[in-house]
Structure 1
């Protein structure tokens, strides 16, 4: 069952870009969080989205929020992606798609692509926005709009 606005983000763990275990409890219930699911590293739309988050990362940190990107790519793929585009935020490897399933992220294009969905939660971990749209650039605008309302 998919998470909805008003639900609390569940605790999860995954490996980050450095191969370390990331435990969501280090950010949940402590600060606002933007968790975005994207289809694949280093593809046109996903690169646009990641670079847009990178270019406005200071706006997110100014608002006290943590940005976390999640895809089913490997740690090695994430490392190349982060290095190539100098991404300053956390990327998590969800190779078994457990986090995607936990959130209930739908597939796109008739089930052919993993979905592109952004979740914005307040400092209590309560989801305030779920933005499900294949257009990569709009996610950053929507996330920032919601964060500005809650800060």
Structure 2
């Protein structure tokens, strides 16, 4: 059941206080060293992207879903460990995008939302990187990423992958707080000689 409360824009940009901290349940212990799956994913900008064919370093931050002003979110969203905070995470990658570019890193956001929802978020938040839609869960299921099931939604949990030439070198899970994820990514990349 979805809440009848519509989200105001300012709520989407902040991390709610007292969020439950997600625990490392081992759901991503198998990820590092795997090749990126070879699937063509639609992007919010109308292109098709196969992440396994993107050379060099790339960061893929997987997130459940960005909220949308005027649209309801599932009841109890903020009480689900690791669910809330997608918009602040995307904005933090936006705000540190120049640093990531200086490290020669390509950035992608990935969720199971439709490209229409992602296009709205990318435009509203002025995101300089590409959002990819895994609406059929092909990418997520092929890597056996953890999935959040709520009501009739099947959403990829918040996981950040750092890959080089198609191989996953680092998996960050759980990601908390979401708006500090980019700082962890930058520290790791800086230490590993991008």
TM-score (norm 1): 0.86
Of residues 132, 137, 148, the one that matches 2:173 is 132
**Counterparts of 2:67 and 2:98 in 1: how far apart (Å)?**
22
Does the aligned pair in 2 maintain the 1:120–1:129 contact within 8 Å?
A: yes
Greater helix content: 1
Cα distance in 1, alignment partners of residues 175 and 101 from structure 2: 25
CA–CA distance in structure 2, aligned partners of residues 119 and 63 of structure 1: 16
Residues 37 and 139 in structure 2, CA contact (< 8 A), matched pair in contact too: no
1:149 aligns with 2:176: no
Q: Name the structure 1 match of 2:19.
A: none
3-state SS of paired residue (1:137)? helix
- Match status 1:78 vs 2:78: no
Higher mean alpha-carbon deviation, 38-47 vs 18-27, is at 18-27
- 1: CA distance, partners of 2:166 / 2:48: 20
5+ residue gaps, structure 1, are: none
In 1, Cα distance between equivalents of 2:187 and 2:143: 22
Residues 120 and 146 in structure 1, CA contact (< 8 A), matched pair in contact too: no
TM-score, normalised to structure 2, is 0.68
Instruction: Write the distance in 2 (CA, Å) between the matches of 1:150 and 1:12.
Output: 27
Question: Measured at CA, do residues 26 and 126 of structure 1 come closer, stay the same or move farther in structure 2, by a change above 3 Å?
Answer: closer
State which drifts further: 73-82 or 43-52: 43-52
Looking at structure 1, the residues matched to 145 and 104 of structure 2 have their Cα atoms a distance apart, in angstroms, of: 25
Q: Secondary structure at the match of 1:6?
A: coil
Regions of 4+ moved over 4 Å: none
Instruction: Measure how far apart 1:141 and its partner are.
Output: 1.7
Structure with greater Cα Rg: 2
Give the distance between the partners of 1:51 and 1:23, measured in 2 at CA.
Answer: 24
- Equivalent residue runs for 1:88-127 within 5 Å: 88-108=128-148, 111-112=149-150, 114-122=156-164, 124-127=165-168
The residue correspondences of 1:13-92 to structure 2 (distance < 5 A) are 13-27=40-54, 30-42=55-67, 45-92=85-132
